[in-house]
Amino acid sequence: MAGAGPTAVLSSGKKMPLLGLGTWQSTSEQVINAVKTAIDAGYRHIDTAWVYGNEKDVGQAIKEKIAEGKIKREDVFVTTKLFVTFLQPEHVREAMMQSLGSLGLDYVDLYLIHNPQGFKYGTNPREIFMPTGNIEDIFDEVDYVETWKAMESLADEGLAKSIGVSNFNTQQLERLLQNCRIKPAVNQVELHPYLAQPELVDFCKRNDILVTAFSALGAPARPKVFSSGDEEPVLMEDPSVVAIAKKYGKSAAQVLLRYHLDRGVSVIPKSVTPSRIQANFDVMDFSLSKEDLTSLGQLDRKLRLVGAKLFVKHKYYPY
Ligand SMILES: NC(=O)c1ccc[n+]([C@@H]2O[C@H](COP(=O)([O-])OP(=O)(O)OC[C@H]3O[C@@H](n4cnc5c(N)ncnc54)[C@H](OP(=O)(O)O)[C@@H]3O)[C@@H](O)[C@H]2O)c1
């Protein structure tokens, strides 16, 4: 994966570029340009999900870059996610096939259980994020260990080169580790200086699970339904982050990305703005000192910006 920036070897033995492009909330039109711009800038890792509704466009952009001769399929690491309405083991393969069909690929590099909390098969995602009725009526307490067994079968078949999870806590990971044949290669979670989760990161490191940080820039454009409702500080404007950025002649965003790379954590900033896509990848020429990493660590206020209050009553609520 030449030009991909730093990579990690997953427990599956596969290599994953640590810096990737996020695509949540990127519309079809935006994401085609974003993915192409990112590939031109050197990104070799794209993160999407069934529920983002843009797998088809992500796939099209990759296809165009392959046709141009810019990359080969094996040069780009594609992650997608099993949505919560497909956690029933009998629906896992169907969801995988839908995603592969949309992406126009015959395998993904990484397939993640999007969230440990299952919902009734066939539920419209809109009903989950903006319920018109009682949310508990659409919960499905399917055991994620059973979901995982079906994920293992996808890995056996070669449809997913690596498999992992997202939004799992340490207890849930522990339970999975005790009941799996194939270890989860990755746990993708919200992570940034306001939500540093040192115990979770250490647990994953000890168990050879690569952590991927989402909303690393503080998800400034997240939908209201995901925020806590209180006055929330703006991570990219935090005075300590801004001061550190000034010291290195970098932007706050670049420092927030480097913070993860310097902790051995993967990170997937989302942007549809070409200059930002470029700038977010332009973080390979510096690293943060131990002191600066420590002061960023001291900003921790256990502030979850995405998803904090949704589904608290679910049996497998992870936070
Ligand atoms: N597994 C999960 O449950 C989960 C949950 C959330 C996110 N994710 C993944 O993680 C990715 C990243 O997280 P996120 O989308 O929540 O938030 P994020 O990456 O923290 O923030 C994205 C926002 O920051 C802006 N931005 C990007 N680069 C910037 C820069 N250099 N300077 C100033 N603003 C900048 C973007 O604007 P423009 O696009 O307008 O440039 C966009 O509004 C997602 O896209 C998705 O792939 C996964």
pLDDT for position 11: 98
Q: Which atom of ligand 1 lies closest to the CA of 214?
A: 10
Distances in Å between the Cα of 240 and the Cα atoms of 31, 243, 285, 299 are 32, 5, 21, 8
What percent of the chain stands above pLDDT 70? 98
| Spatial separation of the C-alpha atoms in residues 214 and 304, rounded to whole Å | 11
CA 165 to chain centre: 9
- For 56-83, the pLDDT digits (tens) are 999 999 999 999 999 999 999 999 999 9
* CA 48 – ligand 1 centroid, Å: 12
What pLDDT is recorded for position 31?
Answer: 98
Flag whether pLDDT at 1 surpasses 60: no
The CA 121 to ligand 1 mean position distance, Å, reads: 28
Which residue in this structure is represented by tokens 């056996």? 156
What pLDDT, on the 0 to 100 scale, is given for residue 3?
A: 67
Quick: pLDDT tens for 125-142.
999 998 899 999 999 999
User: What whole-number distance in Å separates Cα of residue 56 and Cα of residue 202?
Assistant: 36
Given the residues 43, 52, 144, 194, the one annotated as active site: 52
Res 310: pLDDT: 76
Ligand 1 touching residue 272 (CB < 6 A): yes
- Give the type of residue at 117: Q
Q: Quote the pLDDT of residue 232.
A: 84
Question: Is 121 annotated as catalytic?
Answer: no
Give the SS3 label for residue 267.
strand
- pLDDT for 47: 98
Radius of gyration for the chain, computed over Cα atoms and rounded to the nearest angstrom: 19
For the domain 7-297, what is the CATH superfamily, name and number?
NADP-dependent oxidoreductase domain (3.20.20.100)
Which pLDDT score, from 0 to 100, does residue 226 have? 79
Average pLDDT of the chain is 96
Alpha-carbon gap, residue 310 to 229, rounded angstroms: 12
* Residue 78 · residue 109 · CB < 8 Å: yes
Q: Is the pLDDT of residue 240 over 60?
A: yes
Domain boundaries of the chain, sorted by first residue: 7-297
Instruction: Report the sign of the C-alpha dihedral through residues 155, 64, 212, 146, in that order.
Output: negative
254 Cα nearest atom in ligand 1: 31
Q: How far, in Å, CA of 161 to CA of 74, rounded?
A: 11
Task: Give pairs for 31-37: CB < 8 Å, separation 24+.
Answer: 31/57, 31/58, 31/61, 31/272, 32/57, 32/60, 32/61, 32/64, 33/61, 33/272, 33/274, 34/61, 34/271, 34/272, 34/277, 35/61, 35/62, 35/65, 36/61, 36/64, 36/65, 37/274, 37/277, 37/278
